[in-house]
Amino acid sequence: SQKIEQNSEALNIQEGKTATLTCNYTNYSPAYLQWYRQDPGRGPVFLLLIRENEKEKRKERLKVTFDTTLKQSLFHITASQPADSATYLCAFFRGGHGSSNTGKLIFGQGTTLQVKP
């Protein structure tokens, strides 16, 4: 079955440093990967999407890479701030079969980032 794995250990870094989170997947070749932020007791919030033909995508202080050979995506937050502290989820969208099948998101377990001032 398709699996998507993230480092379950929390990542603690100092404010101003770059945080790098890893997402690995197996038994699937997603057309694109998505990254979400989740705060405690809240729903996931979409951050970035990267397609299989894109090596890198940037949005403000965020950068995502996608290596289809390694089956891995890296998520970077540069100049991290305490407000970036949250759980970050990697997900791929598994399209369904047939025109009416909307597909679904398959999530990793998330990596909790703690940025210390």
Partner 1 sequence: EPEVTQTPSHQVTQMGQEVILRCVPISNHLYFYWYRQILGQKVEFLVSFYNNEISEKSEIFDDQFSVERPDGSNFTLKIRSTKLEDSAMYFCASLGGGEQYFGPGTRLTVT
Task: Enumerate binding residues for partner 1 (CB under 8 A).
Answer: 34, 36, 38, 41-46, 49, 89, 91, 96, 100-110
CB 70 within 8 A of CB 8: no
Q: How far is the CB of 64 from partner 1 (least distance, A)?
A: 14
* Lookup: tokens for 86: 């949250």
- For partner 1, the closer of residues 77 and 91 by Cβ is 91
Minimum CB separation from partner 1 for residue 72, in Å? 18
| C-beta closer to partner 1: residue 10 or 79 | 10
Question: Please, which residue, 37 or 63, has the CB nearer to partner 1?
Answer: 37
List of residues 6+ apart from 42 with CB closer than 8 A: none
Report, in Å, the least distance between residue 21 CB and partner 1: 15
Measured from the Cβ of residue 113, the count of other Cβ atoms closer than 10 Å reads: 21
- Measured CA to CA, the distance from residue 108 to residue 21 in angstroms comes to 12
